[in-house]
DNA sequence: ATCCGTTTCAAACGATTGTTTGAACACTGT
DNA sequence: ACAGTGTTCAAACAATCGTTTGAAACGGAT
């Protein structure tokens, strides 16, 4: 029962690197050390294999460092938010190579039914937790719409290092990479905390 | 001299719908009303056609509204930066469902050789102009690395409304859409200008 | 009308794709 | 030892891909 999982892992890296169409079943089977017919035997066809790869990636999306959550009695909510940003940035930068992140990016560019489950099952909880952290770190004075704007802004500042990775690497000179996670994190955290002030001024004006 | 442009337009829609590998030369030529060999005659091969489609698409992405540039004698650099952000956000939100945006998103998720030319030819100038605007709006006190961090942060906050569009729409309740361009713009501009302050404090500390 | 460079066309080419086939192999229970 | 079930393998399959070919059609200049 080993070849089936070997193919599943090989397919995940191949699909992440080259995409669905450019990733060939021969490439997958070579990397899995299996015969060409193994895909059609263990899975029905290439499309079914891809669907199972997405589900497998979705299940293993959260392994590794656990997401920081808002503690019951928040002493330093700003630092908790900074910790969350660090967790998110590391997660994004670390999933650069042959990982879940690139599969998800592909799903964003070309949404399928799998994205619906992904949104409600994996993204919604993360977004909700970020909302609670932002609410606490800002002093709880933001209205719901402004709070969501801040959340999306945070997500965007982190996400660009993953979605824009291919472009950042090709700029002259190349910009930020995996080794700059701490620098990026502290910069975003400082900017975000400052940004709360402007919203507070608008609210009190 | 019509078939060349017909192929260019047909290729743009086909590549946007199906992607580079799934979009076939025969499909493009059928939609353009041309022969199968027309692609290899007017362009060298499929890859060259795709590269020209990308450049053509990115150049015409903001047709009508030109990119705001730093004026010779900057009176209000902060407002000039805000104008740039507004231009960029409108550009991203407006190209949401169109061919251009989908092409770029696909290229970021699945880079081809064409991305190299795109980076140096089309993206580098935009990024450079943003850098000059940020430098002016921040008072010219930021070191090069911090300035680039701010630039990437701005790009990210704008870009997330495009790259994360499919996800934002699937959240409960759905978040921001095309009609919120002004609200998004002013929020990002205010946040960014505030963020400069934190960098100044760090520099003087 | 004739020439010549440019453009179009139907047909075919070689390569690669996903998939199928049928025999060989491995292993378990009797 | 034997049958039976599940798995692997080399080889070939049909289909489709991008590209090439050589001739036909076009269009202006002489």
Q: In this predicted model, what pLDDT tens digit does every residue of A183-205 receive, in sequence order?
A: 999 999 999 999 987 666 655 44
Alpha-carbon distance of A98 to A14, in angstroms, equals 8
The pLDDT value given to residue B63 = 65
Domain covering A64-204: architecture = Orthogonal Bundle (1.10)
What is the reported pTM? Answer: 0.83
In this predicted structure, what is the pLDDT of residue A170?
87
The span from the CA of B95 to the CA of B173, in Å, is 23
pLDDT one-digit tens code per residue, B167-205: 888 887 767 777 888 999 999 999 999 998 766 665 544
Over residues B94-104, the mean pLDDT reads 73
**pLDDT at A96 exceeding the cut of 80:** no
Mind listing the pLDDT tens digit for each residue in B58-75?
Answer: 777 666 688 888 887 667
| Contacting residues for A111 by C-beta, under 8 A, at least 6 apart | B166
- Sign of CA pseudo-dihedral B18, B22, B23, B26: negative
In this complex, the nucleotide whose C1' atom is nearest to the CA atom of residue B40 is: D19
CATH architecture of the domain formed by A3-59: Orthogonal Bundle (1.10)
pLDDT average, residue stretch B27-39: 95
Residues with CB under 7 A from strand D: A 1-3, 34-38, 41-42; B 23-27, 36-37, 39-40, 45-47
The residue-averaged pLDDT of B28-49 equals 95
Q: For residue A41, what pLDDT is reported?
A: 96
For residue A160, the chain B residues in CB contact (below 8 A) are 152-153, 155-156, 159-160
A1 CA – C28 C1', rounded, Å = 16
Q: What is the mean pLDDT of residues B34-50?
A: 95
pLDDT for B64: 64
Which of B117, B145, B147, B153 to mutate to probe the A interface, most A CBs <10 Å?
Answer: B153
pLDDT average, residue stretch B143-155: 94
A117 vs B97: which has the higher pLDDT:
A117
Instruction: Please give, rounded to a whole number of angstroms, the shortest distance from the CA of A161 to a CA of chain B.
Output: 8
Name every chain B residue with its beta carbon within 8 A of the beta carbon of A152.
Answer: 157, 160-161, 164, 168, 175-176
A154 against A54, higher pLDDT: A154
- The domain ranges of chain A are 3-59, 64-204
- A–B: how many Cβ contacts below 8 A? 162
Which of A146, A191, A197, A204 is best to mutate for the B interface (most B CBs within 10 A)?
A191
Highest mean pLDDT among A52-61, A160-169, A186-195, B161-170: A186-195
Q: Confirm or reject contact between A116 and chain B (CB < 8 A).
A: yes
Domain topology for B77-204: Tetracycline Repressor; domain 2 (1.10.357)
Tallying the residues shown for chain B, one arrives at 205
**Interface list for A 182-201 with B (CB within 8 A):** 183-184, 187-188, 190-195, 197-199
């Amino acid at each position: 029962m080993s070849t089936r999982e070997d193919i599943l892992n090989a397919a995940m890296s191949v699909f992440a690197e080259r995409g669905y169409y450019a990733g060939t079943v021969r490439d997958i089977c070579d990397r899995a050390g299996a015969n060409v017919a193994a895909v059609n035997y263990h899975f029905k066809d290439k499309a079914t294999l891809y669907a199972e790869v997405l589900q497998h990636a979705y299940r293993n999306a959260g392994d590794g460092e656990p997401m920081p959550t808002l503690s019951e009695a928040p002493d330093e909510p700003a630092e908790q938010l900074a910790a969350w940003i660090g967790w998110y940035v590391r997660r994004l930068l670390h999933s650069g190579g042959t990982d879940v992140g690139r599969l998800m990016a592909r799903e964003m560019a070309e949404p399928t039914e799998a994205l619906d489950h992904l949104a409600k099952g994996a993204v919604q909880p993360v977004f909700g937790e970020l909302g609670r952290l932002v609410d606490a770190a800002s002093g709880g004075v933001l209205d719901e719409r402004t709070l969501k704007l801040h959340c999306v802004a945070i997500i965007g500042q982190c996400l660009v290092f993953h979605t824009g990775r291919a472009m950042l690497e090709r700029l002259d000179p190349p910009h930020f990479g995996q080794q700059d996670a701490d620098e990026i994190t502290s910069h975003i955290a400082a900017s975000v905390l400052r940004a709360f002030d402007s919203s507070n001024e608008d609210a009190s004006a």
